[in-house]
Amino acid sequence: MQRLTPGGGLMSHIFISFHSIDVRFVSLLIEKLREEGDLPLWVDAGRMNGPVRWTQDVEEALRECQALVVVMSPEAKASDCVTYEWVTALALEKPVIPILFRHAELHPRLAALPYLDFRTAPQWEGLIRLLRQALSQEEPPATAPLEPPAVVEEAPPPAVENVPSIVRRAEEMLDSLNPEERETALENLVAMDHPAARDVLARAANSHPSRDVRIRAAKALESLGDVRAVPGLLEGLYDSDHDRRWDAAWSLVRVGGEAAIAGLLEALHDAEARRVAAWALGEIGEPAREGLTQALYSSDPMVRLHVSEALVRIGPPAIPALLDALRGENDDVRTDAARALGQIGPPAVEGLVEALRDEKLEVRRLASEAIEQIGERAVPGLIEALHNPDWRIGRAAAQMLRRIGTEEARAALDAWRGEQGER
């Protein structure tokens, strides 16, 4: 650890929080601030040479800093250490000055602060002005207690007097940099089966600064059957680990239901998440049909492919929408719809036979191919269609029975011809 300017003690210094990948920019930042001569800086010197290793010195420096500058980038946003540093500074009521160095969507707590956008042009004067303002404020006591980081909440937390101390302790442990402590806290909160414990899990799943904690808290809520798990589980669909994505999808089906549909539909547009999202939508079934039907007309062929698979899982309730798509104007959408109808099987035969008399040659061809895809299983539906009051449907069904050519199909054709007086 290193204090970069003289001055004795740690009081009134500026803590610089960053990810080691941004060390070149941080070196420039230090150089620029040194030129001012009277801005005392503190950085983790070890982090300048590689990944961070947390020590007690860092926590002490956080307690005693006068302000914190956090250099934000995608890697910094994903870093538990960087996140811990800025949320702790906020909890201690220290001024926090975010520098947006490379594009990263800021956490709502940071976005609400007057941050400096360095992506297009450095704003050194603005930074120095904010730092001088921070250093001119009354210095906080060095013994200020380290409270758990505040979180953005949709509803106020339970009153302290109604929350058991063991629940409060577990909530504090969720902010630990030790993964084992965080996991223990989650397990304890689940085991308590107390309303206050569930509220803690819900707040963590929705707005904890650490992505890992959000997802794990959501899984814990899911094990309790609590629908408030949905936001965190939706985030799990984008995990880099294949098994974790599927685990999140399973959980959304079990606990999310209709509450998860909008987020799952959005996930269809992500290359990594779309497969598990489509599967989950198919498992949710009829409530997801309308959203999937709209997504069937996407310009992205991979989205259409996975949407078609989801509609097949829904089965007969999806047939009317697929038949509409089959008769539509978009060739690619028609092809996907026909394939899906063929996979749904016998329940789709009646609608496909009607499509055989469509005025568009391409629609008739695709409907014919879908019936052939169903094959022998389509025969009962085709036999029923022989007796449709619309003679054109009966004739189309007869043509398909002739092409399928099974013994049952030939016998039905012979009987039908006899009724029609055809020999």
Residue 78 has pLDDT above 80, yes or no: yes
What is the sign of the dihedral through the CA atoms of 30, 35, 36 and 41? positive
Chain centre to alpha carbon of residue 374 = 36
What is the sign of the dihedral through the CA atoms of 150, 153, 159 and 161? negative
Amino acid identity, position 325: A
Residue 154 has pLDDT above 60, yes or no: no
**Range list of H helices, 237-360:** 242-251, 261-267, 274-284, 289-295, 301-314, 319-326, 331-344, 349-355
Q: Mean of the pLDDT values across residues 32-43?
A: 86
Which residues, in sequence order, are CB contacts of 255 under 8 Å at separation 6+? 221, 222, 225, 226, 227, 229, 230, 233
Residue of 139, 169, 196 lying closest to 10 (CA atoms): 139
Domains (ranges, CATH) in the chain?
2-136 (3.40.50.10140), 315-423 (1.25.10.10)
Distance CA 307, CA 224 (A): 30
> Does the predicted TM-score (pTM) go above 0.75?
no
Q: 179 — alpha (psi -120 to 50), left (phi > 0) or beta?
A: alpha
CA distances 260 to 56, 140, 278, 314, Å, are 42, 45, 12, 16
CA distances 169 to 152, 156, 187, 189, 211, Å, are 19, 18, 13, 10, 20
Q: Mean of the pLDDT values across residues 377-399?
A: 77
DSSP β-bridge partners for residue 15: 42, 68
Residue 289 has pLDDT above 80, yes or no: yes
Which pLDDT band, with edges at 50, 70 and 90, does 141 fall under? very low
- Provide, rounded to the nearest whole percent, the portion of the chain with pLDDT above 90: 13
Residue 18 has pLDDT above 90, yes or no: yes
Distance CA 147, CA 70 (A): 20
**Segment among 180-189, 369-378, 401-410 with least mean pLDDT:** 401-410
Residue 271 has pLDDT above 80, yes or no: yes
Which residues, in sequence order, are CB contacts of 363 under 8 Å at separation 6+? 326, 327, 334, 355
DSSP string, 190-212: HHH--HHHHHHHHHHHHH-S-HH
Per-residue pLDDT at 39:
82
- Provide, rounded to the nearest whole percent, the portion of the chain with pLDDT above 70: 88
Q: Are 33 and 131 in contact (CB under 8 A)?
A: yes
Residue 392 has pLDDT above 80, yes or no: no
Q: Are 193 and 223 in contact (CB under 8 A)?
A: no
Q: Are 304 and 296 in contact (CB under 8 A)?
A: yes
Name the helix (H) or strand (E) containing 235. Answer: helix 230-236
Strand order in the sheet with 65-72: 2-3, 41-43, 13-17, 65-72, 96-100, 116-117
Per-residue pLDDT at 399:
77
Which pLDDT band, with edges at 50, 70 and 90, does 282 fall under? very high
Distance CA 360, CA 354 (A): 12
Angle at the Cα of 178 from the Cα atoms of 177 and 183, rounded to 5 degrees: 115
**Segment among 44-58, 300-314, 318-332 with least mean pLDDT:** 44-58
Lookup: tokens for 361: 């040659």
